[in-house]
Structure 1
Amino acid sequence: MVAPVLETSHVFCCPNRVRGALSWSSGPGGLLAFGTSCSVVLYDPQKRVVITNLNGHTARVNCVQWIYKQDGCKSDHSFSIIMFLSFCVIQLLKAVHLQGHEGPVYAVHAAYQRRALHTLLVSAAADSTVRVWCKQGSEVTCLQTLNFGNGFTLALCFSFLPNTDGDLFSPPPVPVLACGDDDCKIHLFVQQNDQFQKVLVLSGHEDWIRGVEWAAFGIKITFAVTLETVLAGHENWVNAVHWQPSFYKDGVLQQPMRLLSASMDKTMILWAPDEESGVWLEQVRVGEVGGNTLGFYDCQFSEDGSMIIAHAFHGALHLWKQNSTNPVTWHEIARPQIHGYDLKCLAMINRFQFVSGADEKVLRVFSAPRNFVENFCAITGQSLNHVLCNQDGDLPEGATVPALGLSNKAVFQGDIASQPSDEEELLTSTGFEYHQVAFQPSILTGKKRHKDGLLESFVYGHGYEIFCVACSNSKTLLASACKAAKKEHAAIILWNTTSWKQVQSLVFHSLTVTQMAFSPDDKFLLAVSRDRTWSLWKRQDTIPPELDPVFSLFAFTNKITAVHSRIIWSCDWSPDGRYFFTGSRDKKVVAWGECDSSDDCPEHSIGPCSSVLDVGGAVTAVSVCPMLNPSRRYVVAVGLECGKICLYSWKKTDQVPEVNDWTHCVETSQSQSHTLAIKKLCWKNCNGQTEQNEAEGAEWLHFASCGEDHTVKIHRVNRCAL
């Protein structure tokens, strides 16, 4: 088998904030399916990796449900289309769209009939109807529409009456359907003469019914519905209930009597009857304490019941299991503080300091306190002294939020030691025990009194919302720009990263600067703008050298010399600093150069040094790999507005005009691509070595991508195949 050229190493995504967007397969592999943005993601909880993305919906996926006894899952979204998905191993074979609802679909369920060799599907939508579908082979037809008037069905569950779906000598299978409605009642339907007839209405709930599910118990054919137990334990809405999956033992179906419930009170409860009294009791309660989340939307059992999972308002999947192991996994280790506005940009200053900008006029600088560094070293197994690099004395012990404040504040060892005796108990409580190292990633779902990140400074200077930031490679200068409709507002501001004082204001562009990049040697600063031009600023040596550097305009394009005809979204430098690349909404990528830092001319003319690459779609991100491919060509990653990522190699041919200088290497498949526009691409710095790098060798390159579909993905590329 030929080694793949491009692989996705890891995908960071989260379930949509809706009930029913999570389903755990009880088949081989135990894959977890959930909706994220417009995609359905297949996730392996054992390996903690995303297996594949199923792209096909055009709006938010509202619910997902595996169909048992068959390798398939179905999903739906708010455009009233249900999509049935079939799989072979982990590759999508065929998707069938079911159209008919006149409102958003938000509940689905299915049951497979072994004797009839077809699948019954049921869907509920905002048009106050429930539709019953039949799938046989690749054909799907609508059998019946149940109208609920002005009411809404919020939960559905299919099943078959016991002992009616067995061998050929058993009675015909009798499907039964339970619908939970907003009238606080459960409506039971039984199929008679190929039509579902309402047979019973169950009352007793005092609010909307969010979840219903059947469980097999006995083999009687005559039934009477009675109230068994009222399970009271949650303190808020119960959003989901699920039975532990049944299994066959010695040819007999076994149904464990264990029930899992998820609630908006941020807990999941595992219920089971007492062996002696038969009274249903709470066995296990798990969840989160405190925080700014809105609880759990859904929960699921694993196939054998040894693991349970839930997803919450903030998007994380919460997984609990009985037997702990220690695999290599990806974790979010800190969430320092929120801006209160949508984040727009971020730049790392050093290993434990970064600056971020949002839809506000200020930049916020965050630094890691000693407590965070200690936890980081404990998690990764690195030496604390090696990581700190003689910065131990400059780090605060931690950060706290004052009782009447909004921003966190540094706490130093001397502050703790000098507190009066009546406050000593407070400062030595759990929230202030910074010397206690946590050997696990923190639970990051709440506003804590102690913080993993210290807000060191607010940086003021822009008149409108921050749009982009960039830090020099020497980590001494920070460049920032804001949204602008006039030249005076489109200025680039340079900041000293030690004092956070303004160094210089660079005025050239007339509209918003969309991205900036320092050259590898920090001699140049490149900026691209919404005004369809770029500007190149050269650093002037200062005497004495300890003074802040000054930048002057070195080269630029205007309406006459410009190549791009639409907004330039992205730019990046070649690793040797000789060339830079720009990508625009006009579908073009262009290489420019050469850039000579020894040229003392006040202004220099720099033109295209490549042919114009037409990538076939609007370019929203460009990033150049810090390593050349084996043919000594530059490797350029291009992100498109449609969510696809394309890799090209380029080398100057010294022909006039340049021809055959661009080579298409590989592009992401539909499942590897984002579903919405790419916002940023970034290659991994090849100077840093990890155990994974050493194991893989130098033939694999890594880059990360993020998009408007709220997903971050890490890809790896076979360098030898480029």
Structure 2
Amino acid sequence: MGIGGGEMEVDSVFIGAGCNRVVNNVSWGACDLVSFGAQNAVAIFCPKTAQIVTTLPGHKAYVNCTHWLPASKFAFKARHLESHYLLSGDADGTIILWELSLFDKKWKNALEVPEKHKKGVTCLSAIMISRMEFMFVSSSSDGVVNVWELILPSSSGGECQLTCVDSILVGKKPMVALSLAELPGSDRHLALAMGGLDNKIHIYSSERSVKFSPACELKGHTDWVRSLDFSLPVYTNGETSVFLVSSAQDKGIRIWKMALQASLADNRKEEISLASYIKGPIFSAGSSSYQISLESLLIGHEDWVYSVAWQPPKISTIAGDESHQPLSILSASMDKTMMVWQPEKTTGIWMNMVTVGELSHCALGFYGGQWCPTGRSILAHGYGGSFHLWKNVGIDFDDWKPQKVPSGHFSAVSDISWARQGNYILSVSHDQTSRVFSTWFDDSSGKEAWHEIARPQVHGHDINCVTLIRGKGNHRFVSGAEEKVSRVFEAPLSFLKTLNYATRSQNSSSADELPTTVQILGANMSALGLSQKPIYVQASGESKERSNNEGIDSLETIPEAVPVALTEPPIEEQLAWHTLWPESHKLYGHGNELFSICSDHDGKLVASSCKAQSANVAEIWLWQVGSWKAVGRLHSHTLTVTQLEFSHDNRFLLSVSRDRHFSVFAIKQTGMDEISHELVVKQEAHKRIIWACSWNPFSNEFATGSRDKTVKIWGLENGSSVKLFSTLPTFKSSVTALSWLGIERQRNHGLLAVGMESGLIELWSIVHSKNEDGLSVISSDLAVRLNPYLCHASAVGRLRWKTPEKSNDEEDSVQLASCGADHCVRIFQVRF
């Protein structure tokens, strides 16, 4: 039910999220979508639009690995499929199979693999046997490798059939890399390669759907084997072979050749002679035998090589379902590079043909690399939860260029704040960064899409709270982290120009966006401190020159940032280093780590609180914007104040706390630099911690939400007492976030967004009316319960309605932003 009785629709506009920092987490499917784990959620992004299209809720633990059925390797077999499937495994040992219908782009949870691993899933690998049949393997820290056969339904809407073919015990040193292949030969046996912590590659063979038996071991790597990938059959000189590529923490890559020998005759002993064993081990599967030899050793990476993968077959070279395996391998390493290896045309020696990588100093390297189905693009995911995509745009020669990718936080997102004009949103996270997401008008498509356009703060502490100052003047924000100091940041000229360019379709007044007084172009990180130092407009050239002339003894060894106005959405290298904001002030006073912060609606005051276990530490500090003097210390609570919010007329400050009480303070400006404050009311409101509060934008009512699963609506009467108006029906989970929207054209209507620990979000219609006796009453109805596929996969951290300065009376839709422990920042469009 919508406002005024109409239906209400909620759509997802944007999802920003970083990738879990684990190997085997990312998979590029034959459907040309990329899957990855973002905390407990499985996120799906479209490389063409550089947007995350959805997240899949269902896992109760951190998602370790995902794998498409079919993956990009089997795109040549996937042309007639109506549905594609996705496997995801988590740190609890649970594996879920998801189904994507290509017809309506709808997702569903197809099944949960029945016999779960006892510990976290470390790797998933699969092979497409036929249109209807897949085999997949899963490895776990519990020392078990399970082999499964999956039969797809013959018609849409049918059930998948899953049977466990084998369970292989590998002992105390678990396997972390797996690959399956069909062995060449008439009887079509399967080979399974496993690698792990014992530095060996274990080859198992099997007839279809029959238990696997050990075939041989391949030795050569001197450290943990991290990745394995079988090629499709390769036909050379009348010989049929399958290649296996392996990579390890010894920085080396090895290519092994499995050649089909002539079928075994009765004189078996004579055939397998000593001479053939010198080449390498031989194993038999049914009536065929296979000779394994080391084809090549590739040295080039300077750090652990976390992934290797064969290029998918080119679609043009396919006749029927037969495929031609390109001799091309992609490797990704912790040395921050990805390399493409191919044999030289004349000598056949494998060489590094392409190297791409990240040059920023703060990256710690790549956890994995993926090919797209056509082999024209390659994707890496890095230590900072970031993606790095390169596309070969050359026609007659290779020319790899970086492409736009989705980005976001790689740890819980703790707070968000809208800019005063609503044209961007700022988020902060326990990944120690703050990020700006904005709409970006694309000239080629004529559409707007959200992208990360700046990373103002790169900090040494987990950031807990933030507020953008709402008043006129330059864009400023105050953030509080796991330290006792609040920090004030001011937008530099490079950001103002970028924002002006990004939002040019919104006709924002350029006079307001580009104040002539801004002399700071950007900011640099200091090598030993946490402060971000300004780079001045005139001095940007000088500072560069100076930094090059400083001796090796200089402590400032971090390279100079080069802040520039951006004309297209930035990629990771630019974001990580060239979009910092300078820090203008530090606010000292709190006795513990900062926990919550807010500013008033005129941009004149900021209130902050810190973690506390006693009344004197739980005080709320008031700071004057501009001079940044402490102008008040408010005493009321005995434990941590969890959220603060000013009423919309700025007369009252509401605080809620772990001590189960709320407090309302009257705030008055008495002089230029003086504030008077008075505790109006303090009341015990809930049975458990109060996590959230929000004011009605049009009157003195407010809502509180608690761990006791209730939301209560209170009214401030005569500015001196509080009355409980209404208690919403008990929710199924703790209430962790609230935000109250006033509807301009119907001032007695409101919409209260409620976020829960389960990740779900509900919108409640709040109607203010008078009863027969002329007394105010409030009624509440559930307006819409958001689809779980739109919501967070774990606790909602904060909800914020977009409230631009100029309100349009005809507006029939509004945006709601949310952030959560699933690393996601989400923006919803709510239509009344």
Normalised to the residue count of structure 1, the TM-score between the two structures is 0.88
Partner of 1:284: 354
1:104 aligns with 2:134: no
1:592-603 correspondence to structure 2 within 5 Å: 592-594=714-716
Which residue in the other structure is 2:484 paired with? 361
SS in 1 for 2:814: strand
| More contact order relative to length (CA 8 Å, sep ≥ 6) | 2
Structure-2 residue corresponding to 1:155: 177
Structure 1 Cα separation of the partners of residues 821 and 741 of structure 2: 23
Unaligned runs of 5+ in 2: 1-5, 71-77, 153-159, 241-259, 262-289, 394-402, 405-441, 552-556
User: Which residue of structure 2 aligns with residue 45 of structure 1?
Assistant: 47
2:380 corresponds to: 310
Distance in 2, matches of 1:420 and 1:384, equals 33
Structure 1 stretch displaced more, 267-276 or 5-14: 267-276
CA contact (8 A) 1:39 1:53 kept: yes
What residue in structure 1 maps to residue 741 of structure 2? 625
1:195 to 211, 214, 227: 211
Q: Which moved more, 1:259-268 or 1:680-689?
A: 680-689
1:75 equivalent to 2:72? Answer no
Distance in 2 (alpha carbons) for counterparts of 1:224 and 1:698:
72
**Given residue 374 of structure 2, which amino acid in structure 1 is its aligned partner?**
D
Cα deviation for residue 445 of structure 1 reads 5.5
Matches within 5 A, 1:434-449: 437-442=565-570, 444=572
Within the candidate set 571, 577, 581, 2:699 is matched to 577
Summarize the alignment of residues 3-14 of structure 1 with structure 2, pairs less than 5 Å apart: 5-14=9-18
Q: What RMSD over aligned residues (CA atoms) do the two structures have, in Å?
A: 3.3
Could you tell me whether the CA contact under 8 Å between 2:500 and 2:510 is conserved in 1? no
2:331 pairs with 1:213: no
Residue 640 of structure 1 contacts residue 677 of structure 1 at CA under 8 Å; is this kept in 2? yes
Correspondent of 1:123 among 138, 158, 164: 138
Within the candidate set 643, 647, 651, 2:763 is matched to 647
Residue 400 of structure 2 is aligned to residue 398 of structure 1:
no
Counterpart-to-counterpart distance in 1, 2:368 and 2:823: 20
Q: In 1, Cα distance between the equivalents of 2:658 and 2:546?
A: 58
Q: Distance in 2 between matches of 1:611 and 1:705?
A: 23
Give the drift of 1:365.
1.0
* Alpha-carbon distance between aligned partners in 1 of 2:686 and 2:558, rounded to the nearest angstrom: 58
Shift of 1:676: 1.6
Residues 609 and 652 in structure 1, CA contact (< 8 A), matched pair in contact too:
no
Q: Which amino acid aligns with 2:609?
A: A
Aligned match of 1:297? 367
Partner of 2:61: 59
Q: What is the CA–CA distance in structure 1 between the aligned matches of 2:181 and 2:169, rounded to whole Å?
A: 20
Corresponding residue for residue 21 of structure 1: 25
| Mapped pair 1:84 → 2:108 | no
Question: Unaligned regions of 5+ residues in structure 1, if any?
Answer: 165-170
Preserved CA contact (<8 Å) 1:585 1:618 = yes
Alpha-carbon spacing, 1:282–1:476, altered in 2? closer, same or farther (3 Å): same
The alpha-carbon deviation at position 430 of structure 1 amounts to 13
Say if 1:100 and 1:393 are closer, same or farther in 2 by CA, change over 3 A: closer
Tell me: CA distance 1:191–1:413, structure 2 relative to 1, closer, same or farther (3 Å).
Answer: closer
- 2:281 maps to what in 1? none
Read off the aligned partner of 1:41 and give its amino acid letter: A
- How far off is 1:443 after superposition? 5.1
Structure 2: distance between partners of 1:17 and 1:389: 37
Deviations 1:177-214 (A, max 9, x none): 11123232222222148222222322222221111111
Going from structure 1 to structure 2, the CA distance change for 1:81 and 1:633 (only over 3 Å counts) comes to same
What is the match of residue 32 of structure 1?
34
In the alignment, which residue of structure 2 is the partner of 1:167?
Answer: none
2:427 aligned partner? none
Change (3 A) 1:440 1:285: farther
**Mean CA deviation greater in 142-151 or 699-708:** 142-151
Asked if structure 2 preserves the Cα contact closer than 8 Å seen for 1:13 and 1:36, the reply is yes
Distance 1:271 1:681 in 2: 48
Structure 1 position 546 matched with structure 2 position 690:
no
Identity of aligned residues (%): 33
Which TM-score applies when normalising by structure 2? 0.77
The one of 90, 95, 98 aligned to 2:111:
95
When you count strand as a share of all residues, which structure comes out higher?
A: 2
Residues 1:263 and 2:337 are matched in the alignment: no
Residue matched to 1:336:
456
Q: For residue 547 of structure 1, what is the amino acid of its counterpart? A: D
Structure 1 residues 322, 426: closer, same or farther in 2, change over 3 A?
Answer: farther
Specify the alignment match of 2:799 in structure 1. Answer: 681
Instruction: Name the amino acid aligned to 1:279.
Output: I
Say whether the 8 Å CA contact 1:626–1:683 is kept in structure 2. Answer: no
- Once residues 692 and 10 of structure 2 are traced to their aligned partners in structure 1, the CA distance between those partners, rounded to angstroms, is 22
Tell me the residue number matched to 2:811.
698
Please say if residues 291 and 448 of structure 1, whose CA atoms lie closer than 8 Å, have aligned partners that are also in contact. Answer: no
Is the Cα contact below 8 Å between 1:244 and 1:256 reproduced in 2? yes
* Greater Cα offset, 350-359 or 633-642: 350-359
The 5 A counterparts of 1:243-254 are: 243-248=310-315, 249-251=318-320, 252-254=322-324
CA pair 628-565 structure 1, distance change in 2 beyond 3 A:
farther
User: What is the distance in 1 between the residues matched to 2:616 and 2:349?
Assistant: 73
| Offset of residue 84 of structure 1 | 2.3
How far is 1:358 from its partner?
A: 1.1
SS in 1 for 2:510: helix
Contact 2:636 2:682 in 1 (8 A): no
Where does residue 224 of structure 1 map in the other structure?
291
Q: Which moved more, 1:469-478 or 1:566-575?
A: 566-575
